[in-house]
Chains A and B, each alone.
Chain A
Amino acid sequence: GQNIDQPTEMTATEGAIVQINCTYQTSGFNGLFWYQQHAGEAPTFLSYNVLDGLEEKGRFSSFLSRSKGYSYLLLKELQMKDSASYLCAVRDSNYQLIWGAGTKLIIKP
């Protein structure tokens, strides 16, 4: 079967750096997405990786290794507003999106 694994919950301190990992086993690969979802709000798109390597967008970066079935989302200079759930999703060979259950990130002062 197809599977996306990510930690259920993580805690980090304001101003620090946190890395949220995502491992996947899917039938084929056509891109990996990260979305951010604040409580009670819509998930919003953060990043898309289809080739190996690091994509940087301001304080957020996303890394992909297709050979290892692995990605991470790196958040730097954490702010309280970064408290949210982070969803990893992989598009498989049929262009279906397979979702992880999300990682709830708690930022403490």
Chain B
Amino acid sequence: ETGVTQTPRHLVMGMTNKKSLKCEQHLGHNAMYWYKQSAKKPLELMFVYNFKEQTENNSVPSRFSPECPNSSHLFLHLHTLQPEDSALYLCASSQESSSGANVLTFGAGSRLTVL
């Protein structure tokens, strides 16, 4: 496996379900991100983890709960979601440094549909 891998690729859930999205990066990067991508809207940054510590939470509702057990794995736990949460959830990683471009490498995303 190379790059950033996300599972599942597609998920349909009811508003009362609990599910989790998984992300794994094989690049040795030190930062991981969750983004939300909705049609015709800019990418929305949800959470950032640097060296396993959460450094950013952009006013995301508590029904989204991130978990970063180590620098290679990132989870997004979902519960009691709303239909407007239906979107593509993208995971990304980067090697953060003070002098570099800090380019993001994205996974292919998890397409979430909330009924």
Chain A residues near B (Cβ < 8 Å): 4, 8, 31, 33, 35, 40-45, 48, 50, 87, 89, 91, 95-102
Contact = CB atoms under 8 A, between A and B. Distances in A.
- How many chain B residues sit at the interface, stated as a range, is 10 to 19
B32 interface: no
A35 B41 CA distance: 15
Given A99-B43, A100-B42, A42 B103 contact: no
B42 to A, nearest CB: 4
The winner among B45, B104, B109 for most chain A CB atoms within 10 A is B104
Interface string B73-111: 000000000000000001000000000011111111100
The winner among A40, A43, A87, A101 for most chain B CB atoms within 10 A is A43
Contacts of A35: 104, 106
B42 A43 contact: no
Contacts of B4: 42
Contacts of A89: 43
A41 B108 contact: yes
Nearest to B38: A101
